Amino acid sequence: MKKIATIAIVVMLFVALIPKLEEVHAGFWATAYDVKFTHYDPWWQPHYGAYFSGAYGSSQYFTGNSGAPSDYGSWHWWGPELHVLLLSKTWLFAPACMTFPNNPSICNDRWDGGRHHAYMAYH
Amino acid sequence: MKKSIKSILGLFTLALLAVFLLYSNHTSAEESQKIEQYAIPTEALPDGVRILSQEMAEKTDLFHPLNTASAPSETSPIADSQERAKLFDYGDVYASSMLIEGVMVGNFVYQYDSPKMAEEAATLLKRDLQAAMPLVAETETTFTLEGDEGDSIRWYIAPQEEMLILVVANGLEAKTVAETFNTVLTLIDNK
């Protein structure tokens, strides 16, 4: 009886772990959930980034109407799990964007997480 | 008999746990309300302001400037371990960020145990900024600096009771940053 119970538990654990193992190793395309302060270096100098779920981001692209510079795809990933795409201040605060809220259609989308996309290597 | 004693003990433990959880939630909500009273009143902000975040933060969250996870610059006065210990001896921290006319504004409120501690923390930060380069201008509570991408950064540093209040405004055009920064400070002064 004990043997049967042990085998049943092992089988159940194995079945439960299969999807988890797949999740851990499967990469996926993701959309950022936030654009906000990332860190300060030194403490008085703020930096900004797009936050993604997952880890080890790459192949990023931007779908906002305001467009992204040609080197956007090579911008740096940051954080212990490289899940935050660092965004250039000169792009986020481009002069054309400074007319908000009089001209809200321009550049606001750079601060929308939903406009930043990337391939995340891990969940 | 033994079983019923065990059951009673079990129920008593559960009841104690429930009371503890209720009390701790209640206390943290009260703390949150208290600290938020010192923050920029978002309801007073003009139409079109975009609030990006408003939250109680952890000490280790990197998105607020006095987080305990970042290593200080070696040349900074707050690299001194005793000074650093004073500065980071706060309890709660409230952080918010918003876009106002294309300028990013951050507001951070740190709660210390006493007004004296908050004042000491403010003094330390001000001393640190006075040594920062390039420092463009300063008053008793405000500092203007140039960022590493040619951006304009303005800081407001002031203790208020046991709170340390920080406001940062950041953007590319110094004039717009200054205007937004001054508007926000008026809201704090008028509270």
Are the C-beta atoms of B98 and B49 separated by less than 8 Å? yes
pTM, to two decimals: 0.79
Picking from B70, B102, B171, the nearest residue to A40 by CB comes out as B70
Which segments within B85-141 are labelled E, that is strand?
Answer: 93-100, 103-111, 135-138
Q: Which of B45, B55, B76, B99 to mutate to test the interface with A (most CBs of A within 10 A)?
A: B99
pLDDT of residue B26: 47
| Residue B136 neighbours by CB distance under 10 Å | 13
User: Is A42 an interface residue toward B (CB < 8 Å)?
Assistant: yes
Are the C-beta atoms of B145 and B128 separated by less than 8 Å? no
Task: Tell me: pLDDT of A19 over 60.
Answer: no
Using CA coordinates, name the residue in chain B closest to A36: B52
Contacts of B98 in chain A (CB under 8 A): none
Cα–Cα distance measured from residue B72 to residue A113, given in angstroms and rounded to the nearest whole number: 29
Read off the pLDDT of each residue in A29-55 and give the average, rounded to a whole number: 94
Read off the pLDDT of each residue in B11-36 and give the average, rounded to a whole number: 60
pLDDT of residue A35: 92
Are B104 and A46 an interchain contact pair (Cβ–Cβ within 8 Å)? yes
Q: Which of A93, A98, A103, A105 to mutate to test the interface with B (most CBs of B within 10 A)?
A: A93
What SS3 string covers B17-72? HHHHHHHHHHHHHHHHHHHHCCCCCHHHCCCCCEEEEEEEECCCCCCCCCCCCCCC
Q: pLDDT of A43-62, one tens digit each? A: 899 999 999 999 999 999 99
Phi, psi for residue A110 in degrees, rounded to 5: -65, -25
Are the C-beta atoms of B176 and B134 separated by less than 8 Å? no
Whether omega for the bond prior to residue A42 falls within 30 degrees of 0, making it cis, is yes
Number of residue pairs across A and B with CB atoms under 8 Å? 101
Using CA coordinates, name the residue in chain B closest to A48: B63
| Residue B103 neighbours by CB distance under 10 Å | 25
Stronger pLDDT, B89 or B21, i.e. the higher one: B89
Phi, psi for residue B75 in degrees, rounded to 5: -90, -5
Interface predicted TM-score of the whole assembly (ipTM), two decimals: 0.79
How far is the CA of B38 from the CAs of B42, B45, B93, B108, B191, in angstroms? Answer: 11, 15, 11, 9, 8
Are B53 and A36 an interchain contact pair (Cβ–Cβ within 8 Å)? yes
Contacts of A88 in chain B (CB under 8 A): 149
Read off the pLDDT of each residue in A78-103 and give the average, rounded to a whole number: 80
Are A93 and B170 an interchain contact pair (Cβ–Cβ within 8 Å)? yes
Which segment, A74-83, B63-72, B75-84, is predicted with the most confidence on average?
Answer: A74-83
Read off the pLDDT of each residue in B53-77 and give the average, rounded to a whole number: 82
pLDDT of residue B142: 95
Lowest mean pLDDT among A110-114, B73-77, B105-109, B172-176: B73-77
Residue B10, token pair as written in the block: 């079990």
Contacts of B155 in chain A (CB under 8 A): 44
Are the C-beta atoms of A43 and B72 separated by less than 8 Å? yes
